[in-house]
C-alpha cells in the first residue's frame, strides 16, 4: 500500500525540496571529541532535517580519539580514505578495522574510540546518525586501551 503524496507547498517545492550542500560549506560548529574533526552537512538547523544527521569526520594520521558515545542515536560511518580501527566496549576491549568502501555501525550508548591506523594518511569518513541531533558524550573517565592523541582542534567559528 503506497502512502498518499504530501501536498506541495505554495512554491511547488522550490525552497523546501531537494538541497545540495557543497562539500566546502560544511559546519564545524558541532559537538567534538578530542582527536577528530566533525562537520555537519545535514541537520535540522541547516536544512530542516527531522530524522537524520549527516556530515564528515577526519582523523589526523596516527591519531586516536577520546572515548565517547552518541546517546540514543545509531551511527553509520562510511570510510572514504584511510584505515580505521574501532575500539568499543566497557573498557574498549574489542577491536575491528575498516578501509575505503567499508561501513561501520555503532549502536546507541556503545562506548567507542576511533583510531587512524595509518601513520601517514588522514582518515576521511562520511558520518550519519539516526536523528537530527548532534550528540557526542565524551567519556574522560574511561581509560582507553590506545591512549588518545593530543591533536589541537581549532573551531573555525570560535577561534578564541
Q: How do residues 62-103 score in pLDDT, each as one tens digit?
A: 888 889 999 999 999 999 999 999 999 998 889 999 999 999
pLDDT of amino acid 153: 42
Find, among 59, 30, 85, 40, the residue nearest to 151 by Cα.
Answer: 59
Cα angle: 134, vertex 140, 146; to 5 degrees: 100
Q: Using 50, 70 and 90 to split pLDDT, how confident is the model at 11?
A: confident
| pLDDT number for residue 151 | 45
Q: Which residue ranges form the domains of the chain, and what is each CATH number?
A: 25-138 (2.60.120.10)
Distance CA 121, CA 63 (A): 10
Higher pLDDT pick, 4 / 133: 133
Residues 37-49 have a mean pLDDT of: 90
pLDDT digits (tens, 9 = 90+) for 104-158: 999 999 999 999 999 999 999 999 999 988 788 989 888 766 765 544 444 444 4
pTM of the model: 0.81
Pairing of strands 103-106, 53-59: unpaired
Amino acid at each position: 500500500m503506497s502512502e498518499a503524496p504530501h501536498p506541495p507547498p505554495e512554491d511547488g517545492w522550490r525552497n523546501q525540496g531537494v538541497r545540495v550542500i557543497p562539500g566546502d560549506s560544511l559546519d564545524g560548529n558541532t559537538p567534538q571529541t578530542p582527536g577528530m574533526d566533525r562537520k555537519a552537512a545535514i541537520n535540522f538547523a541547516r536544512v530542516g532535517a527531522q530524522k537524520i544527521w549527516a556530515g564528515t569526520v577526519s582523523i589526523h594520521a596516527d591519531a586516536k580519539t577520546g572515548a565517547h558515545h552518541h546517546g540514543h542515536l545509531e551511527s553509520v560511518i562510511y570510510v572514504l580514505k584511510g584505515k580505521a580501527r574501532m575500539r568499543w566496549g566497557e573498557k574498549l576491549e574489542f577491536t575491528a578495522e575498516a578501509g575505503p568502501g567499508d561501513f561501520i555501525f555503532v549502536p546507541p550508548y556503545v562506548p567507542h574510540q576511533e583510531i587512524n591506523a595509518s601513520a601517514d594518511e588522514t582518515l576521511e569518513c562520511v558520518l550519519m546518525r539516526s536523528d537530527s541531533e548532534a550528540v557526542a558524550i565524551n567519556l574522560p573517565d574511561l581509560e582507553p586501551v590506545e591512549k588518545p592523541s593530543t591533536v589541537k582542534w581549532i573551531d573555525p567559528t570560535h577561534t578564541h
